[in-house]
Amino acid sequence: MVTLIVLLTLLILFLVLGFCFHLLGGVLKLVFKLAVCLPCAILCGVIGVIFCCTLLLIPLGISCFKLAGFLLHPLKPCGI
């Protein structure tokens, strides 16, 4: 009977710890995205606008816009 109580206590402890680590991972991912990916995407967008102002660099500007979109949505499939 004591072993059953100990096992149930350990199971509940591991479930709570797993949920906490899952929540912490989501928060860390959001902080990373806001701190790193968002400024890089804004910078790529500004560079893309500058490149699109010249006639020869329009393909490079379009590539910068695609890179900015990828930085904002990294798990979205490419080409859609």
Per-residue pLDDT of 8-23, as tens digits, reads 888 888 788 787 788 8
Provide CB contacts within 8 A for 71, sequence distance 6+. Answer: 37, 38, 40, 41, 44
Round the average pLDDT of the chain to a whole number and report it: 84
Distances (CA, A) of 46 to 53, 70, 72: 11, 15, 15
First to last CA, the chain: 58
**When comparing pLDDT for 37 and 49, which is higher?**
49
What's the pLDDT score for residue 77? 61
Q: How confident is the model at residue 6 (pLDDT cuts 50, 70, 90)?
A: confident
| pTM of the predicted protein model | 0.63
Which tens digit of pLDDT belongs to each residue from 64-73?
999 998 888 7
The pair of structure tokens assigned to 2 is 């004591």
**DSSP state at residue 54:** S
